[in-house]
Amino acid sequence: MAGHLYRWLDERLKLESLKIALLEEPIPGGASWIYVFGSVTLFFFLLQLITGMFLAIYYSPTTDHAYESIRFIMDDVPFGSYLRGLHHWGASGMMVSIGLHMLQVFLYGAYKRPRELMWVVGVILFILTLAFGFSGYLLPWDQRAYWATQVGINMVGTIPLIGDALVRIIRGGQYLGQMTLSRFFALHTLFLPWITMVLIALHLFILRRVGPAGPWDEAQASRFSEPFWPRQVYMDAVAIGNAFLIVAILAITMPAPLADPANPSDTSFTPIPEWYFLFYYQLLKYLEGPWEIVGTVVLPILFFLALLLLPWIDRRKERHPASRRAVLAAGAGFLTLVFTFLGLSLYEVATMPRMDPSVLRGKALYQELDCAACHRIHGQGGLVGPDLSYVGDKRDRDWLIRHFKDPQAVVPGSIMPAYNLSDEELNDLTNYMLSLRKH
């Protein structure tokens, strides 16, 4: 039955010629596990597309509802937290796989003639992957997203002459707000996916026209070859299966993080970008003042220009590492710097003071009781009751506990109701109040 259906479709769609084009491409030197990263990257891109489409069903790209829609996805949508976890960790997986793919191409010298255009398209795809990560980071509209994006946009402002204009274009105005979120959402879900799909098609078209480069040993590459099917397909499938298994486990055991709702007035929040931007974030700490423009403008431009022009910088025909010592040494030096700065940043993040769990529970209880309807903290909340921004400097533990138990007994005439809180809840809420200090 299946064979008859295949023949029927083949007569009408010429599937056999398509099968030959897709699966019988000769691989110089034979199949290898080192070639799997391109297919893994493509898989992660498709995973991001699929999970992103389902997340978009429930997501509301407005500053009033974005955070709550993410919270709804994680708390109320069946498998919503798992779906968001797949999307979150899939982004990291795509960063890792495209990095390893580019590293393999770099080590094998597969960017050399006649594959220069394929390399250039690959570099542009790498830039788009970074743009995916940056634009998607803002969409939850939580504290991490808001302040990390604010830092990123401020970097753009350091570009001479056009920096301020670019910042206004990115923000959609003078401040990071609704227009910014709308633009990032459109960029992340409409512009970038379509541009990426076109470039992936172009990348694969060029690959089919010029063929795989094979191993750097020309003698080995010319000695024998084998088609893409079945060994390389098997290796790619195993690699993709393992990659998905890792991401699926992470999505279950480590759900995508969601901080407090974005609060533009809380300037005390310390922004921490995603791990794939951490090394750059760390580098900028050493380039302050007049050196800031070197880190925000000069170095990124030089880096991406060097990547794009690499086939013309390293013009020698030989691909063997022995004949490319200077280029490989430069690459090794760059990776050493990246992992050094990444390690330093991860160490600082790991040693950063963490908020006491009791304080976190108290903060959640403050929100659950809707205390912000009457009280204001750092500009957010109502004006009926006293401002609590620095209440920890004004009241002690005993006074706060007595006040929560019986507000009218402590402050005669108070309109605050007496909440029936357990001893643990009283302790947590009091600890949160005591944490609200100027220093």
DSSP string, 146-176: HHHHHHHHHHHTTSTTTHHHHHHHHHTSSSS
User: Percentage of residues in the chain with pLDDT exceeding 70?
Assistant: 97
Residue position matching structure tokens 């949160």: 432
Answer for the pair 366, 438: CB distance below 8 angstroms, yes or no: no
Backbone phi, psi, residue 26, to 5°: -70, 135
Identify the DSSP state of 374. Answer: T
Reference 177, options 59, 56, 64, 57; nearest CA is: 64
Beta strands in 34-82 (DSSP E): none
For residues 372, 378, 380 and 381, what is the CA-based torsion angle, rounded to 10 degrees? 30
Residue type, position 116, single letter = E
Q: How much is the mean pLDDT over the chain?
A: 89
Q: What was the pLDDT predicted at 43? A: 98
User: Minimum mean pLDDT among 104-113, 198-207, 309-318, 414-423: which range?
Assistant: 414-423
Cα separation, 187 vs 161, in Å, equals 25
Q: How confident is the model at residue 415 (pLDDT cuts 50, 70, 90)?
A: confident
Reference 139, options 46, 59, 255; nearest CA is: 59
Identify the DSSP state of 393. Answer: G
Answer for the pair 199, 128: CB distance below 8 angstroms, yes or no: yes
Say whether pLDDT at 234 is over 90: yes
Q: How confident is the model at residue 266 (pLDDT cuts 50, 70, 90)?
A: low
Q: What is the DSSP string of 127-147?
A: HHHHHHHHHHHTTT-BHHHHH
Q: How confident is the model at residue 240 (pLDDT cuts 50, 70, 90)?
A: very high
3-state SS assignment for residue 28: strand
How far is residue 61 CA from its own chain's centroid? 18
Q: How confident is the model at residue 270 (pLDDT cuts 50, 70, 90)?
A: confident
pTM for this structure?
Answer: 0.81
Answer for the pair 295, 287: CB distance below 8 angstroms, yes or no: yes
Residue position matching structure tokens 């999970």: 51
How confident is the model over 157-213, as pLDDT tens digits?
888 888 889 999 999 888 899 999 999 999 999 999 999 999 999 999 999 889 888
Q: Which CATH number fits domain 357-435: 3.40.720.10, 3.60.20.40, 2.60.120.10, 1.10.760.10?
A: 1.10.760.10
Say whether pLDDT at 45 is over 80: yes
Q: How confident is the model at residue 32 (pLDDT cuts 50, 70, 90)?
A: very high
Q: What was the pLDDT predicted at 80? A: 95
β-sheet bridge partners, residue 261: 142
What CATH number should be reported for the domain whose range is 25-263+290-324?
Answer: 1.20.810.10
Residue position matching structure tokens 């401002």: 387
Residue position matching structure tokens 């480069």: 213
Which two tokens mark 138? Answer: 């803002």
3-state SS assignment for residue 36: coil
Q: What is the DSSP string of 223-273?
A: H-EEESTTHHHHHHHHHHHHHHHHHHHHHHHSPPP--SBP-TT-TT-----
How confident is the model over 331-344, as pLDDT tens digits?
999 999 999 999 99
Q: How confident is the model at residue 353 (pLDDT cuts 50, 70, 90)?
A: low
Conformation bin of residue 173: beta by default, left when phi > 0, alpha when psi is -120 to 50: left
Answer for the pair 101, 41: CB distance below 8 angstroms, yes or no: yes
Say whether pLDDT at 267 is over 70: no
Answer for the pair 31, 232: CB distance below 8 angstroms, yes or no: yes
Domain boundaries, given as residue ranges, for the chain: 25-263+290-324, 357-435
Answer for the pair 184, 69: CB distance below 8 angstroms, yes or no: no
Q: What was the pLDDT predicted at 13? A: 81
Q: How confident is the model at residue 354 (pLDDT cuts 50, 70, 90)?
A: low
Cα separation, 181 vs 185, in Å, equals 6
Q: What is the mean pLDDT of residues 431-439?
A: 82
3-state SS assignment for residue 338: helix
Q: What was the pLDDT predicted at 437? A: 81
Q: What was the pLDDT predicted at 356? A: 65
Q: How confident is the model at residue 151 (pLDDT cuts 50, 70, 90)?
A: confident
Q: What was the pLDDT predicted at 238? A: 97
Q: Which residue has the higher pLDDT, 186 or 259?
A: 186
Burial status of residue 422 (CB atoms within 10 A of its CB: 0-12, 13-18, 19 or more): exposed
Please tell me if the domain spanning 25-263+290-324 has the same topology as the one spanning 357-435: no
Q: What was the pLDDT predicted at 352? A: 67
Cα separation, 207 vs 365, in Å, equals 57
